[in-house]
Amino acid sequence: MINYADISSSYLFVSDLDVVVFSANSTLSLSIADAGGSTVLSCSYTPVDGVVKVYDLDRLLSPLITGVMADFTFTVNDSSQTLHLIQSRTRVSMPAADFLDSRFLSSVTSGRDTALGRKEMVTLLSPTEAVNVTAACVYANGEMCMLQSVQLASALAAGQIHEVDCSPRLLVNDALGELVQYTINAGQRLMTFRVSLAQTHRLALLMRNNFGAWEPCYFQGMNEHDPKISRELALVAGSVRPLKIDEEDTCKSYTGPLRPGAVQLFRDLARAYEVMLLDGGVATDPVVISDAEVKHTDDDGSLPAFTFSWRRAARTSAMFDVPVIPRLFDDTFDATFN
| Other beta carbons within 10 Å of 275 | 21
CA atoms of 263 and 270, how far apart (whole Å): 11
CA atoms of 63 and 202, how far apart (whole Å): 32
**Is 90:268 a contact under the CB 8 Å cutoff?**
no
The ranges assigned to domains in the chain are: 2-94, 103-197, 201-338
CA atoms of 132 and 151, how far apart (whole Å): 8
Q: What is the pLDDT of residue 337?
A: 53
Q: What is the pLDDT of residue 317?
A: 77
DSSP 3-state assignment of 161?
strand
CA atoms of 328 and 214, how far apart (whole Å): 38
> What is the distance between the terminal CA atoms of the chain, rounded to a whole angstrom?
73
CA atoms of 269 and 4, how far apart (whole Å): 32
Q: What is the pLDDT of residue 315?
A: 81
Do the domains spanning 103-197 and 201-338 agree at the CATH topology level? no
Residue 44's contacts (CB-CB under 8 Å, 6 or more residues apart) are 27, 28, 29, 30
Q: What is the pLDDT of residue 316?
A: 79
Which numeric CATH code is attached to 201-338?
A: 2.40.30
DSSP, residue by residue, 48-82 = BTTEEEEE-HHHHHGGG--SSEEEEEEEETTEEEE
**Is 149:135 a contact under the CB 8 Å cutoff?**
yes
Smallest CA-to-CA distance from 203 within 296, 101, 112, 285 is with: 285
| Other beta carbons within 10 Å of 67 | 14
Q: What is the pLDDT of residue 81?
A: 94
Q: What is the pLDDT of residue 109?
A: 76
* Record: fold of 103-197: Immunoglobulin-like (2.60.40)
142-146 LR contacts (CB < 8 Å, sep 24+): 142/177, 144/177, 146/176, 146/177
**Is 225:251 a contact under the CB 8 Å cutoff?**
yes
- Give the full edge-to-edge strand order of the sheet including 28-34: 11-13, 79-86, 69-76, 28-34, 39-45
Q: What is the pLDDT of residue 6?
A: 86
Q: What is the pLDDT of residue 328?
A: 61
Residue 18: phi, psi to the nearest 5? -65, -40
Which numeric CATH code is attached to 2-94?
A: 2.60.40.3110
Residue by residue, pLDDT tens for the chain (338 residues) are 899 888 988 999 999 999 999 999 999 999 999 999 999 999 999 999 999 999 999 999 999 999 999 999 999 998 999 999 999 999 999 999 999 999 999 999 788 999 998 999 999 999 999 999 999 999 998 888 999 999 999 999 999 999 999 999 999 999 999 999 999 999 999 999 999 887 678 899 999 999 999 999 999 999 998 888 888 999 888 899 988 888 888 999 999 998 878 899 999 999 999 999 998 889 999 999 999 999 988 887 788 999 999 999 988 777 877 777 776 655 555 555 55
